[in-house]
């Protein structure tokens, strides 16, 4: 009660604040107005907005803007390839004060142990991590993951202090087919926030999906799809990530009537984009550039997100709210200059001002377990002159199912670089089952060599594409040796690699080091003929059997629309 009484005294102007941000243009996310005022901060909270003068420290902002810290409402931090501390050092300077994540990437590798690792680390960092219990570990029965989280596990996670709801229900076919396990997980979270994941689901199927208590969706790629979901009661997460760029198509959804039920997310944001463009701040900037009124854009990255997730004391510069604040010069440019967390300056001019605590002792550093196999295991038997291939769609994570004419030698399909037909391989790496999925892919443009990664949503087995079995084999063996990472090989030799030994997903190196390594590998891939601007990002989604149309897992080719393996 003592702190509350002192807060009241500061708010009334009777006692000095800890800090005053004077001569500020305060972005009011409640009514969309800009007001000139001083912001008084006490004990990590905003005590008041108005004519405050007394404080232990006064900083004259000279007319700069003050807004609440940004909230990234749906992100897989693992896609940055950065360990948790390095991730915070990367995104906090961009104004990200809170993230909402289900951690299902690391959970698919290491289960509860992986989730606890991230939470333990994040608690000691100057940003808020809100957990959504990962609903789909594994994502489907069509792949082999490193862990399984059942209904009792979900109930346990829902009791974690950081946990605010149930993460994206990716297994939408399971929901529509009335799968008992999936429905029991949803039932365990009733009364909490339940996030959706329903690409292309519409009509009566959408009604059925929403009727289970699922409140949001981030998978809309077309305006009509998002409009239908909004009309049926969903909150629409407008996604602008590294490979999933939906902002421009969906922005017309945002009107005076609809905007409170829309907010921005990145879903998957890769290290190079964070370094060169930013985090959720980059989405706000782009929305403004596309014509959205600036304050509304800020609302969609702050108060709208906080309201949906019921995050008390976040999303506004107002009495009793946490003093998670950003300072910037221009509403149009929206370049974050200062970041405050609980009233402390934690970043300035793009640089973090905090040191990292020691990482948790359990580093999750022995997670790649591959059953020994020979190069002959990579041979793909022909069933005729034609075969199915996964067609990559540039700029999207959806793929298309394509029938291609193939070259056959001694009964086995050969890569055909002249027609951009490469071999795709997924090797199970959690339980040494020996499972190896084989298929074809088109759209990468690789003329020789192979590229491989242990980041392969969502089960994160080793995924490889290549022009020869020798190079594919060499790339797999290097990923195994490093205990996770990305690799480029050609001529049977290693040309470059970047290690991610923490769960086979994360590097303990700083953002700049990781990006430098990625840039070099992408340059090598492009020298080998790859035409995709971000080949490793595209590679990481080839094994994701919850996004249409055709995927490859360690169990084989998956027809996602039919939700079954292709025999």
DSSP for 533-546, please give it. Answer: SSHHHHHHTTT-TT
> What 3-state class would DSSP assign to 27?
strand
Calculate the CA dihedral of residues 241, 245, 247, 248 and round it to 10 degrees. 150
Distance (Å, whole) CA 34 – CA 563: 50
Give me the residues paired with residue 57 across strands.
19
Domain ranges of the chain: 70-313, 375-565
Residue 172's Cβ-count burial label (10 Å; 0-12, 13-18, 19+) is buried
What tens digit of pLDDT does each residue of 149-179 get?
A: 999 999 999 999 999 999 999 888 889 999 9
Nearest CA to 140 among 207, 214, 197, 195?
197
Q: Which helix (H) or strand (E) holds 426?
A: strand 421-427
Angle between helices 84-91 and 511-527 (to 10 degrees): 90
Distance (Å, whole) CA 459 – CA 357: 29
Nearest CA to 422 among 364, 384, 378?
378
Distance (Å, whole) CA 296 – CA 230: 18
* pLDDT computed for residue 171 by the predictor: 87
What does pLDDT average to in each consecutive run of 10 residues of the chain (567 residues)?
Answer: 85 97 98 97 97 97 98 96 97 98 96 96 97 93 94 97 96 91 96 95 97 96 97 98 91 98 96 96 98 98 98 98 98 97 98 91 86 97 95 87 96 97 98 97 97 95 98 98 97 95 95 96 97 91 91 96 88
* pLDDT computed for residue 1 by the predictor: 43
> What 3-state class would DSSP assign to 561?
coil
Q: How many CB atoms within 10 Å of residue 523?
A: 12
Residue 419 DSSP symbol: G
Q: What pTM did the predictor assign?
A: 0.93
Six-digit token string for 371? 């059953």
* pLDDT computed for residue 2 by the predictor: 56
φ and ψ at 339, to 5 degrees? -130, 125
* pLDDT computed for residue 297 by the predictor: 98
Number of H helices, E strands in the chain: 16, 30
- Per the CB < 8 A criterion, the answer to whether 135 and 102 are in contact is yes
Residue 393 exposure: Cα atoms within 13 Å on the Cβ side: 15
* pLDDT computed for residue 244 by the predictor: 84
φ and ψ at 112, to 5 degrees? -60, -35
Calculate the CA dihedral of residues 341, 342, 345, 350 and round it to 10 degrees. 10
Which residue's entry shows tokens 């039932």?
187
CATH no., domain 70-313: 3.20.20.140
């Amino acid at each position: 009660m003592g702190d509350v009484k002192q807060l009241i005294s500061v708010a009334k102007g009777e006692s000095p604040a800890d800090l005053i941000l004077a001569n500020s243009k305060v972005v009011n996310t409640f009514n969309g107005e800009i007001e000139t005022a001083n912001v008084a901060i006490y004990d990590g909270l905003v005590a008041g907005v108005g004519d405050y003068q007394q404080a232990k420290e006064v900083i004259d902002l000279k007319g700069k803007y003050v807004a609440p810290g940004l909230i990234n409402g749906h992100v897989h931090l693992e896609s940055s390839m950065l360990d948790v501390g390095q991730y915070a050092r990367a995104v906090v300077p961009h104004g990200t004060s809170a993230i909402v994540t289900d951690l299902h990437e690391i959970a698919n590798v290491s289960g509860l142990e992986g989730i606890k690792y991230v939470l333990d680390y994040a608690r000691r960092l100057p940003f808020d991590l809100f957990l959504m219990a990962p609903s789909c570990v594994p994502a489907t029965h069509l792949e082999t993951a490193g862990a399984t989280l059942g209904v009792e596990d979900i109930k346990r996670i829902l009791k974690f202090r950081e946990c605010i709801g149930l993460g994206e229900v990716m297994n939408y076919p399971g929901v529509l087919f009335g799968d008992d396990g999936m429905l029991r997980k949803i039932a365990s979270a009733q009364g909490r926030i339940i996030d959706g994941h329903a690409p292309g689901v519409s009509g009566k199927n959408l009604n059925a999906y929403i009727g289970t208590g699922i409140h949001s969706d981030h998978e809309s790629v077309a305006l009509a799809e998002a409009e239908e979901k909004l009309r049926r009661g969903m909150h629409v997460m407008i996604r602008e990530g590294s490979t999933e760029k939906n902002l421009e198509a969906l922005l017309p959804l945002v009107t005076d009537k609809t905007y409170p039920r829309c907010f921005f997310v990145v879903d998957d944001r890769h290290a190079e984009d964070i370094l060169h463009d930013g985090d959720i701040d980059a989405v706000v900037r782009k929305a403004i550039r596309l014509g959205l009124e600036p304050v509304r854009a800020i609302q969609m990255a702050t108060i709208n997100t906080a309201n949906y997730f019921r995050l008390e004391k976040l999303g506004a510069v107002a009495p009793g709210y946490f003093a998670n604040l950003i300072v910037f010069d221009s509403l149009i440019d929206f370049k974050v200059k200062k970041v405050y967390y609980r009233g402390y300056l934690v970043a300035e001019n793009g640089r973090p001002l905090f040191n990292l605590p020691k990482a948790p002792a359990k580093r999750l550093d022995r997670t790649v377990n591959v059953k020994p196999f020979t190069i002959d295991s990579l041979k793909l038997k022909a069933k005729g002159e034609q075969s199915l291939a996964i067609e990559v769609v540039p700029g999207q994570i959806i793929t298309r199912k394509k029938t291609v004419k193939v070259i056959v030698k001694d009964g086995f399909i050969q890569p055909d670089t002249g027609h951009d037909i490469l071999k795709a391989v997924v090797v199970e790496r959690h339980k040494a089952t020996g499972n190896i999925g084989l298929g074809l892919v088109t759209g990468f443009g690789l003329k020789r060599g192979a590229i491989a990664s242990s980041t392969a949503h969502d089960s994160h087995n080793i995924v490889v594409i290549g022009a020869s079995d020798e190079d594919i084999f060499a790339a797999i063996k290097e990923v195994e040796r490093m205990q996770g990472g990305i690799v480029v090989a050609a001529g049977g030799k290693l040309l470059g690699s970047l290690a991610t030994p923490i769960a086979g997903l994360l590097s303990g190196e700083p953002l700049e080091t990781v990006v430098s390594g990625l840039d070099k590998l992408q340059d090598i891939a492009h020298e080998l003929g790859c035409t995709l601007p971000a080949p490793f990002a595209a590679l990481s989604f080839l094994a994701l059997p919850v996004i249409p149309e055709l995927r490859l897992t360690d169990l084989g080719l998956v027809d996602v629309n039919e939700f079954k393996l292709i025999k």
